[in-house]
Amino acid sequence: MIAVVAGVVRRADRIMICQRKPGGPMPLKWEFPGGKLEAGESPEEALARELREELGVEVRVGRILDARRIADGTRDLLLLFYCAEIVAGEPRTLDCNAIAWAAPADLPRYDLAAADRAVAERLTGMPPSDLPIR
């Protein structure tokens, strides 16, 4: 099983999502940004590293919001979704196609990857201020 972390990053009343590049897996799907854990990393360390590498930002990682397992015969993934907030930098598309800041109610309107869609639906009725950062 491969462990993957994703950040539910909020700013005021918006949540950040990123669009995958056109040439990779799940091209142009929207998702909460993140990536795979490396050997010896905690999930929180992995998320901070991934957002630094992919978006050029430093984040404070909060509590885990959700966990999803995807086992479909070709892959076995454990996705860990953490609340996070940017503490330094402005997100840039270093390793994604686009960045959007969406109100929670608008998240399901994006063409989200399946696991991200389930988390987005959970967030739909939740004010961003209720996301536990600390």
Domain spans of the chain, in order of start = 2-127
Of 13 and 67, more confident: 67
Inter-CA distances, 26 with 2, 31, 44, Å = 17, 10, 25
Percent of the chain residues topping a pLDDT of 90? 76
Least confident of 48-52, 98-102, 118-122: 118-122
Query: pLDDT-derived band of residue 71, with 50, 70 and 90 as boundaries?
Result: confident
Judging by DSSP bridges, how do beta strands 58-71 and 76-88 pair with one another? antiparallel
| Predicted TM-score (pTM) above 0.75 | yes
**What is the rounded average pLDDT of the residues 92-116?**
94
**What is the rounded average pLDDT of the residues 36-46?**
96
What span, in angstroms and rounded, lies between the C-alpha atoms of 87 and 75? Answer: 34
Cβ(58)–Cβ(45) below 8 Å: no
Share the mean pLDDT of the chain: 92
Residue 73, helix vs strand vs coil: coil
Judging by DSSP bridges, how do beta strands 98-102 and 58-71 pair with one another? unpaired
34 pLDDT above the threshold of 60 = yes
Could you please state the CATH topology (level 3) that the domain comprising 2-127 is classified under: Nucleoside Triphosphate Pyrophosphohydrolase (3.90.79)
What pLDDT is stored for residue 134 in this prediction?
53
